[in-house]
Amino acid sequence: MPSKASTVRDLHLCPFCGGVADIYRDPGQPGYEPFYVVYCTRCEARGPEKEKREDAIAGWNRRSTRERG
| Distance (Å, whole) CA 28 – CA 37 | 12
In terms of CB distance, is 17 or 52 closer to Zn ion? 17
Q: Which positions lie near Zn ion, rule CB under 5 A?
A: 14, 16-17, 19, 40, 42-43, 45
In terms of CB distance, is 13 or 33 closer to Zn ion? 13
- SS percent in the chain: helix, strand, coil, step 5: 20, 20, 60
Residue 50: CA count within 13 A, CB half-sphere: 15
In terms of CB distance, is 35 or 39 closer to Zn ion? 39
Least distance (Å) between residue 18 CB and Zn ion: 7
